[in-house]
Amino acid sequence: MEPTDFTGRLSRDRLAAIVRGRSADAALRTVLTLVEEGVDLVEVSLNTADACDVIAEAAREVGEDALIGAGTVVTRDDLLRAQDAGATWIVTPTTGEAVTAAVHERLPVLAGALTPTEAAVAVTAGATAVKLFPASLGGPAYLRALRDPFPDMPLVPVGGVDADLVPEYFAAGALAVGVGSPLVGDAAHGGDLDLLRRRARLFRSVCRRQEAGA
């Protein structure tokens, strides 16, 4: 997928799930459950147990129904391993070499940044969007403040984004939201998948209301 197409996908779906688990089997089940519930953008963090195997199996099982990404991508080697496993988009914690490598490989990349300077560096480096992390430090008000000097910057808040805050982030100008533990809970460690399904439906419902302009 071209980076510009991925921006459109973020704008349409408005929700990306973040899976990070101690159990590869549980992480895979979590990814597949999220996709079954309509969460079609799922990032598997590379510090998940056997992360590349999880990415590869998830990509095989979901086919074209969803886009499986890799998160916590720090180095070029990380990126190439994730790409070989089948990741079609990349998330980094910083604006380091992984961003440059992703741009070179024409992989969509959400580059981690917090300050205005870091966000500007990410965009200049060619990031598809800026992962505003940890968003909980400033909340929707901080994202709104960043939109003043950077009105066209695609911002995706990550970190502490619970369902109640989603409308506030969208009102502040977020392109989409990235959600880990408030959505995934302990499912990727072997926790209850029925509870995961309920949370997935809640987040999808909130995002659909935002799509409808409610």
Of 2, 36, 37, 43, catalytic: 43
Q: Could you identify the residue written with the tokens 């880990």?
A: 180
User: Where would I find the beta strands (DSSP E) of the chain?
Assistant: 15-19, 41-45, 67-71, 89-92, 109-113, 129-132, 155-157, 177-179
Instruction: Estimate to the nearest angstrom the gap between the alpha carbon of 11 and the chain centroid.
Output: 12
Is residue 131 among the annotated active site residues?
yes
Question: Which positions ≥6 away from 130 have C-beta within 8 Å?
Answer: 110, 111, 113, 119, 122, 123, 153, 154, 155, 156
Of 37, 61, 131, 211, catalytic: 131
Q: What count of other Cβ atoms lies within 10 Å of the Cβ of residue 8?
A: 11
Amino acid at 214: A
Please give the angle made by the CA atoms of 132, 36 and 51, to the nearest 5 degrees: 55
Q: Is beta strand 109-113 parallel, antiparallel or unpaired with respect to 67-71?
A: unpaired
The number of C-alpha atoms within 13 Å of 63 and in the hemisphere containing its C-beta is: 3
Cβ proximity of 16 and 179 under 8 Å: yes
Is residue 43 among the annotated active site residues?
yes
Which active-site residues does the annotation give? 43, 131
